[in-house]
Structure 1
Amino acid sequence: MRNHLWMSVATIAVLALGACSPKAEQKADNALNDTGAAVSGVLNSTDNVIDNAQQALTTTPTGQEFADAAAKSDAFEIEAAKLAATNAQSPAVKEFAKMMVAAHTESTAKIKAAAKAASPAIAPNATLTEDQADDLAELKALKGAEFDKEYMDGQADAHEDALELMRKYAADGTVASLKQAAGEIAPIVEKHLSKARALDKD
């Protein structure tokens, strides 16, 4: 966008210079430089507005929203890992899935305890989203190396989302018990994400 706009301004200026005297050309050059600076300034301001708007859209979830999102994430991870126990081919993928069942069962317990300690108490809703249910259905139809690839692709994506959720709530959450739980879970999710990315490349 910047290049196209700059080229349009430059083209107009060059055409005008063809009929100008040397003195007029100097004035035109100065005007062109001033115009370029003005255009750059406007575009930079626009970029800043867009960046600020994107940041504003990334709002901190409420305690209920966070608890629900965390519960759904854990439920999805556990169900997907159970499929890997039977459908996966790679021993490394099966080992990763085994770790997921243990870790996300522990995470579920931590979130439930933190939600219960909130005032008023929060009851997490672990019902899978439509997208999560669709992803599980796709995984069920796969076996062997094909399953391994799809499962690890999904694990990398899911843990990126989970890490963003945990970090965001740990930093800006309003329910103290859930905020603490998010802070404790985030480093674990980060380790899982690194492992998932490594296996996804194999």
Structure 2
Amino acid sequence: MIRFVAFASLAIALLVPPAFGQTTDPASPAPGNPGGMLPGTKQSASSVPAPRQTNPPDQAFIHSATVGGLAEVELGKLAAQKATGRAVKEFAQQMSRDHSAANDRLSTIVKAVGIAPPERLDEEHKAMQVRLQQSDGAQFDHSYIQGQIIEHQKTAQLLEYEIGSGENAELKDFASDLLPTVLGHLRMAQAIAAEMAQQAQAEVPPTNREKRK
């Protein structure tokens, strides 16, 4: 949890534009107001609603959730093609479907907020993609599933972070709705990993098992 808080703090520091919180003009918009509205402004005109509010945690969430969602779809498509185990292949196909739907919903919310989300994978997920592309067979299945366990643990923490610290109601609802799905994915990946470990153990000759002990 300490590592996640540190990550969240760093993400917020990187994502908040310099204009936020650095103005000395008393007539300038309030810090963290992405719509450029003055404090207390309810709407820009009698029939035009003000932009939906976001705070730094919302902005950090948008960035990380978008990148993570893109990675889930891309890696899921790759695993659906390269995986050798049936359970791994089916899991990968479900990741592509579920996260594509979540990405579409998040994109709609972000457009309404007026924030430009990332459109491609970050360096970390690109490196993960390259490593998977360079592996095959059982090694690929193992690497993909282990990566999915880690990624879904991170995503669950990210969603909980938005639920507790976010300001935008639609983003918080999105995080609340997605969290059970992500936790379900995590349990599936853990079950597949356990099954693969049992299969690998069963394939080891008895003499080698004794040596390992």
Compute the TM-score of the two structures, normalised by the length of structure 1.
Answer: 0.68
Shift, 1:55, TM fit: 8.6
Aligned partners of 2:57 and 2:165 also within 8 Å: no
**Preserved contact between residue 153 and residue 200 of structure 1 (Cα < 8 Å):** yes
More helix per residue: 1
**Unmatched 5+ stretches in structure 1:** 1-50
Q: Residue 18 of structure 2 corresponds to which residue in structure 1? A: none
Q: Report the more deviating stretch, 53-62 or 160-169.
A: 53-62
Mapping 1:103-182, distance limit 5 Å: 103-118=98-113, 121-182=114-175
In structure 2, what is the Cα distance between the partners aligned to 1:107 and 1:126?
15
Could you say which residue in structure 2 is the equivalent of 1:76?
71
Verify: 1:97 aligned to 2:92, yes or no: yes
Given that 2:4 and 2:157 are in contact with CA atoms closer than 8 Å, whether structure 1 keeps it comes out as no
Does 1:195 pair with 2:178? no
Distance 1:83 1:181, change over 3 A: same
The Cα of 1:85 is off from its aligned counterpart by: 1.6
Contact 1:62 1:173 in 2 (8 A): yes
Task: Kindly provide the CA deviation profile for residues 65-124 of structure 1, in whole angstroms up to 9, marking residues without a partner as x.
Answer: 211111110111111111112211000000000000100001101111222233xx2222
AA of the residue aligned to 1:177: E
Identity %: 32
- Contact (CA 8 Å) 1:117, 1:177: kept in 2 or not? no
Match of 1:185 among 157, 178, 181: 178
Alignment RMSD, CA only?
2.0
More displaced stretch, 148-157 vs 55-64: 55-64
Residue 126 (structure 1) shift:
3.4
Q: Deviations over 1:120-143 (max 9, x none)?
A: x22221321211110100000111
Q: Distance in 2 between matches of 1:66 and 1:56?
A: 13
Q: Is the 8 A contact 2:152 2:183 kept in 1?
A: yes
- Point out the more displaced range, 144-153 or 57-66: 57-66
Q: Does 1:87 align with 2:82?
A: yes
Letter of the structure 2 residue corresponding to residue 193 of structure 1: L
How many equivalent pairs are there? Answer: 149
The list of structure 1 runs, each at least 4 consecutive aligned residues, that deviate by more than 3 angstroms after superposition, is 53-61
Counterparts of 2:181 and 2:4, CA distance in 1: 25
Once residues 3 and 82 of structure 2 are traced to their aligned partners in structure 1, the CA distance between those partners, rounded to angstroms, is 40
For the residues of structure 2 that align with 1:152 and 1:55, how far apart are their CA atoms?
Answer: 21
- Give the residue type in structure 2 aligned to 1:78: V
Q: Secondary structure at the match of 2:121?
A: coil
Q: What 5-or-longer segments of structure 2 have no aligned partner?
A: 13-55, 196-213
| TM-score between the two structures when normalised by the length of structure 2 | 0.65
- Partner amino acid for 2:111? K
Read off the aligned partner of 1:81 and give its amino acid letter: G
